[in-house]
């Protein structure tokens, strides 16, 4: 059977003050009325049953995840006691799926991306699943055709086309780290590079076997946790063993080492919603170039991003290119060109012992 695995452990600090430790960006409504994790599950609902849908999150966010996804069985929310990167996250889900469904196919995707349209995504997902079913050793990645020279994304370099299906499928030649501007411009001109959007499809048994081959200690730790599943001591084993697992991405652990890695050219629009500056691109602007959500009145205000909550009015006068985000207990006012420095604010809050606002 097909299983959807949604990775939902991120902190989303660049969306402070709306994003907090208990409510990171995947639990917010940033592009549409539904939250990002709700939209992610909605996207899979047409072709994956609720009992075969999984979310891997952390203890701080687990309750909110369950509240936002009431159709999901409680046992399908897997809770990591510590952040150990995507290899451990995917491995934990793979062992769980294998126990229930030894032939299970995993479709793995992040909880905090915007994808349009769901129909195009669904068709591409079904193509990926058919590839894995026909060739069980295959690891299928999704690559997004770059639209600008992004320096914040990893890239996949493709080789020859593998079949005549649609969307196109290519052999992976190499993985490239986040490049400098000049290199990103070269990738864009070359035409052989995709953005690596972190969406994968493979058999659960295949990824477990490859973890054993390339990261045997990580595999052994996951296996020990899995062996305790269903017992009274499972939670204790999980809390003891999981934080000791190697923190490594699935890309480094497996994908950059394995054979039979291929990439599908994504036929959908994709955005990782990396900062407040993503919102004009996703939600559009008014005739003054402002992107707003909530009660807003502006005079001589241009190029601003304004968000507020409940019935709190934000009124502006004579502003240019600012980010203004109001929440009940904290308000951000920032020069839009400085949005990448929000982490410095959070460091300052820690320094001043104001962690209750994080």
pLDDT band at residue 101, thresholds of 50, 70 and 90? very high
Domain that holds residue 49: 2-271
Residues 318, 172 within the same domain: no
Clarify whether residues 300 and 194 are in a common domain: no
Last residue of some domain: 271, 288, 322?
Answer: 271
Q: How confident is the model at residue 346 (pLDDT cuts 50, 70, 90)?
A: very high
Q: What is the pLDDT of residues 31-51, one digit of tens each?
A: 989 999 999 999 999 899 999
Structural domains counted in the chain: 2
**pLDDT of 229 above 80:** yes
Look at residue 138 in the predicted model and tell me its pLDDT. Answer: 97
Residues 262, 282 within the same domain:
no
Tell me how many degrees the CA angle 52-19-45 measures, rounded to the nearest 5.
Answer: 20
Pairing of the two strands 139-144 and 193-203: antiparallel
Instruction: Kindly state whether residues 36 and 9 are assigned to the same domain.
Output: yes
Same domain membership, residue 158 and residue 19: yes
pLDDT at 13 over 90: no
Confidence band of 295 (pLDDT split at 50, 70, 90) = very high
pLDDT, tens only, 55-64: 999 999 999 9
Same domain, 8 and 103: yes
- Which residues have CB under 8 Å from 254's CB, separation 6+? 87, 139, 207, 210, 211, 214, 215
Residues 218 and 196 in one domain: yes
pLDDT of 9 reads 85
Last residue in a domain, options 212, 245, 271: 271
Confidence at 228, pLDDT banded by 50, 70, 90? very high
pLDDT at 249 over 80: yes
What average pLDDT does range 92-113 have in this prediction? 97
Q: Which one of 240, 271, 302 terminates a domain?
A: 271
Report pLDDT digits (tens) over 309-330: 889 999 999 999 999 999 999 9
Side-chain half-sphere of 67: how many Cα atoms within 13 Å? 9
**Mean pLDDT to the nearest integer, 161-167:** 92
């Amino acid at each position: 059977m097909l299983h959807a695995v949604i990775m939902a452990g991120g902190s989303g600090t660049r969306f402070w003050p709306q994003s907090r430790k208990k409510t990171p960006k995947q639990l917010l409504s940033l592009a549409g009325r539904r939250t990002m994790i709700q939209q992610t599950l909605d996207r899979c609902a047409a072709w994956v049953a609720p009992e075969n849908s999984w979310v891997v999150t952390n203890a701080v966010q687990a309750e909110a995840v369950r509240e936002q996804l009431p159709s999901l069985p409680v046992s399908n929310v897997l809770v990591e006691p510590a952040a150990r990167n995507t290899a451990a996250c995917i491995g934990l889900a793979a062992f769980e799926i294998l126990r229930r469904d030894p032939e299970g196919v995993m479709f793995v995707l992040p909880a905090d991306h915007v994808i349009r349209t769901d129909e195009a995504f669904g068709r591409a997902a079904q193509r990926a699943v058919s590839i894995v079913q026909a060739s069980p050793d295959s690891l299928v990645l999704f690559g997004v055709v770059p639209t600008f020279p992004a320096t914040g994304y990893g890239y996949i370099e493709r080789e020859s086309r593998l079949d005549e299906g649609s969307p196109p499928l290519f052999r992976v030649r190499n993985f490239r780290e986040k490049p400098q501007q000049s290199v990103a411009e070269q990738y864009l001109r070359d035409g052989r590079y995709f953005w690596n959007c972190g969406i994968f499809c493979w058999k659960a048994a295949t990824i477990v076997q490859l973890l054993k081959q390339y990261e045997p200690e990580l595999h052994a730790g996951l296996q020990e946790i899995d062996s305790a599943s269903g017992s009274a001591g499972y939670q204790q084993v999980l809390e003891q063993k999981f934080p000791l697992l190697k923190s490594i991405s699935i890309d480094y652990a497996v994908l950059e080492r394995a054979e039979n890695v291929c990439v599908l050219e994504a036929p959908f629009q994709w955005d990782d919603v990396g900062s407040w500056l993503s919102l004009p691109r996703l939600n559009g602007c008014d005739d003054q170039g402002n992107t707003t959500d909530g009660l807003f009145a502006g005079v001589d205000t241009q190029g601003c991003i304004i968000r507020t909550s409940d019935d709190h009015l934000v009124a502006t006068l004579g502003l240019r290119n600012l980010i203004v985000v109001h929440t009940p207990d904290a308000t951000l006012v920032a020069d839009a060109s400085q949005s990448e420095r929000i982490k410095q604010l959070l460091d300052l809050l820690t320094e001043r012992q104001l962690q209750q606002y994080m």
